[in-house]
Amino acid sequence: MGVKPISPDEVVYNIPDFVIESVNQMIRNKYRGKSFSFKAKELIALGQSTGATGSNKDWYEEKWMDFENIYREMGWDVNYEQASYGDSNFDAYYEFSPKKK
């Protein structure tokens, strides 16, 4: 076998700098020493307000919103909550909390 299967640790998404900058800004705005959350649509709006390109749809289809593991590696517990199938009244959100040492 010449080609080896890829492991989950080898999967890397190309998340643009403006997404990381937007998440960092959300953390600065919301973190007060304990867990906090922000809506996915708030993050996209913040990124777009700083001149980031891409429609709301792009942020999801291009996997720009899949940044959780990057922040987990930096010492955060990160959870993403989204609507159940068919529930259009729920705003998806991220919850961050510092990892316990």
Domains, the chain, ordered by start: 14-98 (1.10.10)
For residue 36, list its beta bridge partners.
96
The CA distance from 67 to 69, in Å, is: 6
pLDDT tens, residue by residue, 8-27: 777 767 889 999 999 999 99
pTM listed for this prediction:
0.84
CA dihedral sign of residues 43, 21, 13, 94: negative
* Three-class secondary structure of residue 53 per DSSP: coil
Distance (Å) of CA 74 to CA 15, 35, 67, 68 = 16, 15, 11, 10
What token pair was written down for 19? 């997404």
pLDDT tens, residue by residue, 53-100: 788 899 989 899 999 999 999 999 999 999 888 777 889 999 999 998
